[in-house]
Structure 1
């Protein structure tokens, strides 16, 4: 795939046609409130779909309830196996460096602060990101009827609803920013879920083979297609993905009030993640380690004394064994588990109820049902 500035600029004027049309029709017929309530059931019930949905959305849900044809199931399994091994660290990275990378995109981040739901409830947004990935990457998540597929459908419809609401305000500068949650921004976000995670794992000392990296990218290509990203624009290889990421960063990354605002909310969410003073200010240091100083400076991520230790991570055993041994490995594991507990509260507006961690992942990661 040859990516050019001209091609990427055209993608800024493309949304997700099929669900966008459905959402527009639902708003016109004043059905969106009841549909929103029914869609919440998608994540928590055992029936295929609620019965009372309008025909248009019911047909769309049934048509999109499967992976694309010809999916390589062996590659999907390789990716989910990597998640089984390093899922706690991946969840941690998604809630730190991946989000900061997204916030650094000056045009795309405007949607997050423009929308009341995303801008004013940043804590819940962070928690939803972790929940989405857990459901998508859990064993069987992409099988017919799996929670991952339902989660993808829900997110895709949410994107269309936000796209519609933002455009209808009359305060969105489409000529300057493109369509809200446009194809280029979806593509950039997909990279933060794939190659940014691979890079982050390696920064944290975890060994990821070239084959594992390619299969992890492939997994998120499939998820991207199901999320409404055009199949023909998604990179096929890590090499293509890295080049695309460089182009998008060059085109869009930089300081912005919105990016700083969202990053500040992120740091507040992670503040005091672990009680006591030992780990104070470690989150900003880990973010700087994984996103680089340029992005961290733009987003006003503070410096901390932990950065001095990061420089000597190799000498301190930061390259971890598969069981997360070593000081820094235990630290990342501890932070990740604490983060999952924090997310479980944010998802329910801080009423303590279980975060939906698939049973098999609980067993692999040694998470007690009574703890989270």
Structure 2
């Protein structure tokens, strides 16, 4: 176990992490946004950035920037076998994991009362929920691909873009004059980034197990290691990337105790998410209200009440169908990780259409 991550996840520690963000990304964005030409060059480059190979083709203005140099390097502690196993786990269960994205991971983060203010102020999640969900979904598919960190993959490039989006969100949020850093911490701070990372790793595993998917300890470790690498490349400090399930649970519980409470902002974003789900034409036997009750089932009543989700229970037939699909996927023949990933991705895109 890496001794760097053995820290007391107490209130004092987490409060201090709320005043720390991502100095390297912030520095680049602050300098770039002060120069109109540099800002246009960066925006143009990021718009066209779709693969890791393009990180070798930087504009002259950014060739010596540490952020770009580090963007295509895995952390020294990254384990290639665990990365491969984590990608294989995703490829097998991608359909259910992607359902966890909207039904569990995103609303879970909305319970963090101070951190959710950034999303609320940006208005994008409230006013264009479908587009925001699509962008998040695309990010997950890109970083979970079997070749995500190879030259032909998209993982490094996708993570860099999100890291810079976070830095830009900090810049504009602080410029807005609507942010109280002393009361809420810095926008998109280390605690909030760590909580979000856990929502895509530990919390997803928890959701899968709630649907009776038999997740082995080895698969759990590999999937969480993959998300730890993604978190590190996103600018999260090493001591907020737990080495094992026990540490992850301790950190998740500490963050929820420190940050989770009812808030107008969290409930508004949850309403936007519910409105999006209820606007969809779902296949039988799913109904629009069933989707909302599935959110409550996965989140648990305590968090669901904080978000003001309607009371009720998801029909057992719906839950049992999801459990059955997860069980069948465990026994389905998987010719190769790459083929399984492509099959799942094709199904996901068809579902979107």
What is the total number of aligned residue pairs between the two structures?
339
Q: For 1:27 and 1:19, how far apart are their aligned partners in 2?
A: 12
Match of 1:124 in 2: 131
Match of 1:243 in 2: 250
Which of 2, 12, 23 is 1:6 aligned to? 12
Q: For 2:81 and 2:257, how far apart are their aligned partners in 1?
A: 35
- Unaligned stretches of 5+ in structure 2? 1-5, 332-337
The reply on whether 1:300 has 2:280 as its aligned counterpart is: no
The reply on whether 1:22 has 2:2 as its aligned counterpart is: no
> Does structure 2 conserve the Cα–Cα contact (< 8 Å) formed by 1:83 and 1:90?
yes
The reply on whether 1:68 has 2:48 as its aligned counterpart is: no
Matches within 5 A, 1:33-44: 33-43=40-50
Q: For 2:22 and 2:342, how far apart are their aligned partners in 1?
A: 35
Query: Aligned-pair distance for 1:308?
Result: 5.3
> Does structure 2 conserve the Cα–Cα contact (< 8 Å) formed by 1:66 and 1:144?
no
Q: Which moved more, 1:63-72 or 1:149-158?
A: 63-72
Report the CA distance shift for 1:20/1:45 in structure 2 as closer, same or farther (over 3 A): closer
Report the CA distance shift for 1:35/1:277 in structure 2 as closer, same or farther (over 3 A): same
The alignment partner of 1:367 has SS state of helix
- Unaligned stretches of 5+ in structure 1? 326-357
Report the CA distance shift for 1:56/1:162 in structure 2 as closer, same or farther (over 3 A): farther
The reply on whether 1:190 has 2:197 as its aligned counterpart is: yes
Which of 143, 152, 160 is 2:150 aligned to? 143
Structure with bigger RCO (C-alpha 8 Å, 6+ apart): 2
Match of 1:106 in 2: 113
Q: Which moved more, 1:98-107 or 1:41-50?
A: 41-50
Q: For 2:311 and 2:11, how far apart are their aligned partners in 1?
A: 34
Which of 253, 259, 283 is 2:260 aligned to? 253
Which of 331, 343, 346 is 1:363 aligned to? 343
CA RMSD in angstroms comes to 2.8
Report the CA distance shift for 1:303/1:318 in structure 2 as closer, same or farther (over 3 A): farther
Report the CA distance shift for 1:301/1:174 in structure 2 as closer, same or farther (over 3 A): same
Q: Which moved more, 1:247-256 or 1:149-158?
A: 247-256
Q: Deviations over 1:121-180 (max 9, x none)?
A: 332222211111100001110224520110000000000011011011122011110000
Query: Aligned-pair distance for 1:288?
Result: 1.1
Q: For 2:341 and 2:12, how far apart are their aligned partners in 1?
A: 43
Q: Deviations over 1:292-319 (max 9, x none)?
A: 0111122122234534557x849x9748
> Does structure 1 conserve the Cα–Cα contact (< 8 Å) formed by 2:143 and 2:158?
yes
Match of 1:262 in 2: 269
Query: Aligned-pair distance for 1:54?
Result: 2.2
> Does structure 2 conserve the Cα–Cα contact (< 8 Å) formed by 1:67 and 1:143?
no
The reply on whether 1:287 has 2:267 as its aligned counterpart is: no
Q: For 2:282 and 2:77, how far apart are their aligned partners in 1?
A: 48
> Does structure 2 conserve the Cα–Cα contact (< 8 Å) formed by 1:106 and 1:259?
yes
The alignment partner of 1:175 has SS state of helix
Q: For 1:54 and 1:118, how far apart are their aligned partners in 2?
A: 32
Query: Aligned-pair distance for 1:251?
Result: 1.0
Q: Which moved more, 1:181-190 or 1:41-50?
A: 41-50
> Does structure 1 conserve the Cα–Cα contact (< 8 Å) formed by 2:104 and 2:295?
yes
TM-score by length of 2: 0.87
Q: For 2:218 and 2:228, how far apart are their aligned partners in 1?
A: 15
Report the CA distance shift for 1:53/1:146 in structure 2 as closer, same or farther (over 3 A): farther
TM-score by length of 1: 0.83
The reply on whether 1:96 has 2:103 as its aligned counterpart is: yes
> Does structure 2 conserve the Cα–Cα contact (< 8 Å) formed by 1:122 and 1:262?
no
Report the CA distance shift for 1:304/1:145 in structure 2 as closer, same or farther (over 3 A): same
Match of 2:167 in 1: 160
